[in-house]
Every structure is written in C-alpha cells, then in structure tokens.
Amino acid sequence: MAEFTLSIFDPNTLLPHRAGIAGLALALSVLNHEDAPLVWEVMEDTVKLAWEGNDREVIKWLLDKTYQVTKGGYLDVPALKLDDQGGYTFTEGVTASFLQHSKQRARDGTAVAKTFTIDEGQPEIKVEFRPLLSCYYTGDLKEAFNSKGLFKKEISLKGHHLPGLVECFVNGAYQESPEGFLALLFLPLACGYYRLPNFRSAVVIPEVMNLKQWVNRRREFSGRTYRNFRSSGAGESALHFLLQEKLLEDAKLERVDYCEVYQLGKQTWDANQSYLKQAVYRVEVKDRILELYDAAVQFFPAKVKQTDKGETWLAISKVLPWICDNLVAGKSWYAGFFEFRKRNEMYERRGLVKMTDVLADKEKTLFDTVQGAFSAYLRGQIVQAQKQGRKLDYGQVTDKVIYRMQRPSTQQEFATALVDFLSQFRSKSSRGVGLEVYQWLHGENWRQARDLTLLAIATYTSKKGDALDGQEIPIESSPESDKDSEVFELSF
C-alpha cells in the first residue's frame, strides 16, 4: 500500500512545494471519495494520501480529474470554476510558464479570435488565441514511474515543473523525491499569472499557512480578467496578487503574508524558449503598501485604445511599474522621481497629482512648503509677463525651476539650492516649518527630499485649474509681510 504525507511545514519543502500541496488540497476538495481509487485526508497543514496497487494509474486518474482540455481549447481546472476570461488567462499563463516548451503542450496551428469586455461602454479587446489540444498534465507521466508503474526513488524534473528550476540544462536535470514531484504537479493551481510588456510574463507563488482556509478562499476566486492578467511589471504582479488575497481573507490569521514572483523572459543561453527565469522577487504583505498600490491602480489604470482601423489593445501605464517597484523594495512610492523624470518626458501627470494626496504628514510638510514657494514664484512670473504684454509659458518657467533643483549633485548643493529658493519666494506654507525642512535636507534622506521637491513642482496645480494646461494661477491675496519672512528665516 502506498502512503504519502505532504506537510507545508516540512523543513525539506520550498515555497513552490508548499503551494503545490495547497493546489493538491484544492483539487481534492471537489472530488468524490466513493469513486476514487485512493483515500485522502486534508488537514490544516497536511495532506495524506493512500492507495493500493499501481502508482501511475492512481496519479493519472487524479490528474485527469484535475486538468482537462475543453472543446474551446482552454486548460480547465474544475476546482477553480473559471469563467471565459478566467479560462483564457489561466491557459495563457500556464502555457507561457510551466508548459512553455513545445514538447510539453500541443496547440492548434490556427488562431481564433477572442473578444473581452474591459469597461462598460468601451470597445472590446480583441486577441488571437491558439486553442490547446493536449499538455503534460493530461499525458502519461512515464518518466516518473518504472516499468511496473511504481514511483521511481528519484525523478528528473525540468522547467515544466517550475519555471527556472534548472538554470542551464548543461548541469543536468534536478532530481526530486516522489513527494516533491507530486506536490509540483498541482503547483499551477495555486499560482497567479500575469503577462508583462516586452514579451515577458510573471508567475506569483503564494505562501500558504493553512490549507483548509486557503482552499475556501481560492474557490471564491473565479480567475483573473483580461485587465488583471495584463500587468505593468513583476512588482505590480506581486502587489495585485497580494491585494486580491487580502480582499478575500476572512481574518488576519488566514492571510497570505508573502509571495515569490518569478519574472520570465529571454535568456542568452537558450534561444528556444521565451519565458526562462530572469529574476525572483520575494514580496511581503504590508497594509500601507497595499493601500498605496490600490490607490495607484485607480490613478493609473490600463486603458483600451483603438486605431482608425478598429484594432484595440490595452495600454499599460508607464508610471505604475515605477511606483510598484518602489513599494516592493520598501521605498517611498515617489523614490527616484529625479531619475524617472529624466527618462520619461511624457508621463501621466494627472495621476501623479492625485497620488500626492496619499503622502504621509511628514512628506506633506515639505511638499506643501515647496509648492507654496513655487506658487509665489509663478506670481512673480505672471506679473512680469503682464508688464511685457505677453502670455506666460507655464511649461517653460516650470522647467526652469525643475532644472534649478535637478542640477545639484551633492547634499550640500541641494540644501543650498532649496533654501535659497524657499527664502527668495516666501509663502504662507513655509511658516513654522523650518525645523522639519532642515531635518529633510540635513538627514540621510536628502535624495528623498530632492525627489519630493521635484514632484511638488512637477505636479503643482492651481486652485482654478492645472498650471501646465494653461489655466490661471492663483495670486496670493497679499505679499508676505517682513515679519512673516523673519520668522521663516529664524526657524531655519
């Protein structure tokens, strides 16, 4: 009699094995004990299996019940209850990761058109889909068993069990135990799949701490829509997956605390496969980070675009991956704005304006101080332009100030430049905040202060409209008095 005990807390298991055990528990949750050639028990941290006779026949039965190819060419998993978009994203995700090699799946040579609704009232997205005919999971798995149909003591694994498992095939295949092999067969059920720009993809593998609770949550989730399948980068893929898990949790003890993201793409040492492992990221759950990501998604949404010929595609934000990478790295969401703005002349400025509403109180102090000084600077520029009888070029004068703050390359140079600017163009927002500004400039976070300063200038918006869109800039009711100016200087 064969007996297997798969525990998520076994010290010999890695995160993919533990997620695979969760996938196995999910597959078993929809099966009928009476019709099965094996018996099982799913506990909070363990799955126990037992059967009589031929190992290969039992595992083949289990996989046939778990993975099925539909008439429409989708790879279907009954336990996931996938709808049409979910079936498409799951199939495309698995075939671009676990089953990316042509030896592991067969697809129809003729593509069929699929249309998905992204937003009500907007054009549908049209995609080309090559139906799946068969795959490794619906095959015979003969490499795992001996001539008698029993598990081999060591089983050779390749990339279809875990993308990037073997960095280079010249070193040979990875050898796995029957228990590890069995867990990895069900890993695809537990993962999240995302398509990234530039012919890349991402696979997100969650940490599972309680099998029963995770199975209950997973069964509530019918799969990703096409919008959520398209991701701006590996960082966003992790944050989106963790946010979805957080939204499904019933209690904090049930939550997924972290996940690993496998970023897949081209590698120079293998020209035959397009989705080899490029990087692996471990991302932990923090409520503040997920709140910031949730806000960023609202401010930088993917949008349906349409050509004159009626062709549609989903345009992905350029700002969102930069913000997500910062959040994943534990940095401020605007970190590196100094470099980001240099690389990207065009970016979604209106989204950045809205994003500044979620700045922390300490950040808001410096941000408001700089914007107050910039408002006073614009007031002078408006007056000067009126005297000269010309229209003010808001973009040009804004770029001048940005260049003034970008030019310093050291902490001392930047501190001098900002203090000179704040002193030259005084405003109400600078009153009594000298100590806070001093701490920003003379602490370890001066580069963060530079990013925040540039962000404040680049996102300045008047009360009557957007300055860079040519709207009128509000002029303060009266210039600051000498007394107010003295207080500001002393507070520094």
pLDDT of residue 347: 64
> Is the pLDDT reported for residue 257 higher than 90?
no
Is 245 within the bounds of a domain?
yes
Same domain, yes or no: 273 and 369: no
Determine phi and psi for 63, rounding to 5 degrees.
Answer: -70, -35
Domain boundary pick from 256, 284, 312: 284
DSSP string across 310-379: S-EEEEPPSHHHHHHHHHHTTS-TTTTHHHHHHH-SS--HHHHHHHGGG--HHHHHHHHHHHHHHHHHHH
pLDDT of residue 18: 95
- Convert the pLDDT of each residue in 314-368 to its tens digit: 888 889 999 999 999 999 999 999 888 877 765 688 899 999 999 999 999 999 9
Count of C-beta atoms within a 10 Å radius of residue 462: 16
Same domain, yes or no: 253 and 372: no
Determine phi and psi for 325, rounding to 5 degrees.
Answer: -60, -35
Same domain, yes or no: 244 and 387: no
Same domain, yes or no: 277 and 371: no
Of 488 and 45, the one with more pLDDT: 45
Same domain, yes or no: 159 and 65: yes
pLDDT of residue 470: 41
Determine the distance from the C-alpha atom of residue 130 to the mean position of all C-alpha atoms in its chain, rounded to a whole number: 26
- Domain hosting 168: range is 2-284
pLDDT of residue 199: 85
Burial class (CB in 10 A: 0-12, 13-18, 19+), 361: exposed
Mean pLDDT of 134-140: 94
Same domain, yes or no: 162 and 33: yes
Same domain, yes or no: 166 and 278: yes
Is 341 within the bounds of a domain?
no
Two structure tokens written together for 243 = 């946010």
Is 326 within the bounds of a domain?
no
Same domain, yes or no: 279 and 365: no
Domain boundary pick from 284, 306, 340: 284
Same domain, yes or no: 273 and 406: no
Give the model's confidence band at 306: pLDDT under 50 very low, under 70 low, under 90 confident, else very high. Answer: confident
Task: State what percent of residues in the chain have pLDDT above 90.
Answer: 50
Is 330 within the bounds of a domain?
no
Query: What distance in Å separates the CA atoms of residue 22 and residue 10, rounded to the nearest whole number?
Result: 13
pLDDT of residue 398: 86
> Is the pLDDT reported for residue 91 higher than 90?
yes
> Is the pLDDT reported for residue 455 higher than 80?
yes
- The amino acid occupying position 327 is L
Domain boundary pick from 239, 259, 284: 284
- Strands 112-116, 155-157: parallel, antiparallel or unpaired by DSSP? unpaired
Query: What average pLDDT is seen over the chain?
Result: 85
Is 342 within the bounds of a domain?
no
Same domain, yes or no: 268 and 142: yes
Is 300 within the bounds of a domain?
no
pLDDT of residue 484: 40
- Convert the pLDDT of each residue in 415-435 to its tens digit: 999 999 999 998 887 787 888
Mean pLDDT of 140-144: 90
- Convert the pLDDT of each residue in 193-223 to its tens digit: 999 988 899 999 999 999 998 998 887 776 6
pLDDT of residue 463: 58
Is 334 within the bounds of a domain?
no
Same domain, yes or no: 270 and 400: no
Is 344 within the bounds of a domain?
no
The structural domain count of the chain equals 2
- Convert the pLDDT of each residue in 371-404 to its tens digit: 999 999 998 998 999 999 988 888 888 888 988 8
Same domain, yes or no: 12 and 109: yes
- The amino acid occupying position 303 is K
DSSP string across 240-294: HHHHHHHHH-SSGGGS--EEEEEEEE-BTTBSS-S-EEEEEEEEE--HHHHHHHH
pLDDT of residue 167: 56
pLDDT of residue 260: 92
Task: State what percent of residues in the chain have pLDDT above 70.
Answer: 88
